[in-house]
Amino acid sequence: MLMNLNNLKPPIANIMKLKYIVLLSSISLMAACAGNQKPVDLTETQKTNQKASGYETGKVSEKALSSEARLPGQLKPYNEVNLFPKVNGFVKTVFVDRGTLVKKGQLLVTLEAPEMESQLQAADSRYMQAKENAVASKEKYQRLKEAAKEPGSVSPLELDNALAKMKADDAMARSESSIVASVRTMQDYLNIRAPFDGMIIQRNVSPGALVAPGKGTDLPMLILQDIRKLRLEVYIPEDFVDKVDLKQQVKFTFNAMPGQEQTAKISRSANALGSMRSEAIEIDVQNQNGILKPGMYAEVKIPMLSGAKSLLVPNNAIIRSTEREYVIAVKDGKAALIDIKEGLSRHDSTEVFGNLKANDIILKNASDEVKEGTNIN
């Protein structure tokens, strides 16, 4: 029960107020200690701050690096051709379809062009006429030559004219013969044959269709691929083009056949960078059983050789962001952010290029929270 201190005398009231304040303070302190809040351990806080300010460091090492790069590859046919007609004509017969295996020289499509038959007949007629003229001129010259044996029977001028006429008619006959052969060759263009052994993978015509020589936008009549041997095409990024070991065998696994690793040697290299700043290499892959298909993707492990003085840093020392890749070096007890470019990688270290040298101290397990100039303990 609280008493009214205002009714007491001044000295006594002051003493009672002081005791009352001390009592309330004691009760408040006891309530705070009995609550959920724990007293602050200053020693533990000091340990935590010391732990937060400590960093794990490592060194930049320098050694020769031999590794491999894993790159995607795609199968392409060893030979592929789009078959267009060389002359205008109508499709008469199509002997093959998609998926047909063909041999070199096999007849695939026949065309018909009635006007070409007329051209052949006209050329034959002109050739026959020229041939007869040549024969007649030759006989006339032979007769004059025999008659000229009698002095004064044939003038020398007449004999020379007969000789010139014989040569001209003979030349005309040969010319007409060449025209006939040319027309026959053009007529043979109506027969479309396979240029090599392979498989028809696309057919775009049917009998009765009008076809013409390709102009770059027209569809080909047929597409033929040689799939007995395929090309595995891989694009090497610009950073690695000088590190590809062409003498060693590469390993590759097709996505459609996991676990079946194959080996082969690099067959050829483009020796030039393409539009994607990469160099194309090709690996010949035998496909005698026909299991592999053009267009299949593979993971290719290409042996790489690095220079004799490669700088390596631990994998966990590299900080990557959308803007840059860098490591944090320790210089004079302060953090220095060094931009780098990654090279070959191993299970525990990565080759880097940047303003670093061997035995430089760098932070391991670093993060982007460490800023330039941060004190490093």
Q: 316-351: per-residue pLDDT in tens?
A: 888 988 888 999 998 888 888 889 888 777 778 888
Quote the mean pLDDT of the chain: 79
Checking if the pLDDT of 2 tops 50, the result is: no
Sorted by sequence, the CB contacts under 8 Å of residue 40 that are 6+ apart come out as none
What is the Cα–Cα distance from 249 to 167, expressed in whole angstroms?
Answer: 67
Q: Whole-angstrom Cα distance, residue 108 to residue 142?
A: 52
Q: Give me the residue label for tokens 């269709």.
A: 209
> For residue 2, how far is the Cα from the chain centroid?
92
In angstroms, rounded to a whole number, what is the distance separating the alpha carbons of residues 42 and 293? 71
Q: Is the pLDDT of residue 300 over 70?
A: yes
The pLDDT of residue 194 is 93
Radius of gyration of the chain (CA): 47
Any residues with CB less than 8 A from the CB of 183 and at least 6 apart, and which?
Answer: 116, 119, 120, 123
The pLDDT of residue 66 is 60
Whether the pLDDT of residue 26 is over 70: the answer is no
Question: Which residues of 177-306 form beta strands (DSSP E)?
Answer: 191-193, 198-203, 210-211, 222-237, 249-254, 262-265, 268-273, 278-286, 297-305
Please give the DSSP secondary-structure letter assigned to residue 69. Answer: E
The CA distance from 368 to 56, in Å, is 15
Nearest to 167 by CA among 137, 193, 192: 137
In this prediction the pTM is: 0.56
What pLDDT, on a 0 to 100 scale, did the predictor assign at position 97? 92
- Give the Cα separation of 224 and 80 in Å (integer): 6
Closest CA to 63 of 345, 320, 302, 310: 310
Q: pLDDT at position 37, please? A: 43
pLDDT exceeds 70 at position 34: no
pLDDT attached to residue 304: 76
| Percent of the chain predicted with pLDDT > 70 | 82
Lowest mean pLDDT among 35-44, 118-127, 336-345: 35-44
pLDDT at 224 exceeding the cut of 80: yes
pLDDT of residue 156: 83
What is the bridge-based pairing of β-strands 107-112 and 210-211?
Answer: unpaired
E-strand ranges in 100-209 read 101-102, 107-112, 191-193, 198-203
Nearest to 205 by CA among 343, 111, 308: 111
Cβ atoms within 10 A of the Cβ of 201, count?
Answer: 17
pLDDT value for 261: 87
Q: 154-213: per-residue pLDDT in tens? A: 788 888 888 898 889 889 888 888 888 888 888 888 899 999 999 999 999 899 888 888
Cα 255 to Cα 232: distance, rounded to the nearest angstrom? 13
Quick: pLDDT tens for 54-92: 688 888 888 766 667 788 999 999 999 999 988 888 999
pLDDT of residue 98: 92
Q: What is the pLDDT of residues 232-283, one digit of tens each?
A: 999 988 877 777 877 788 889 898 888 888 888 888 888 888 777 888 889 9
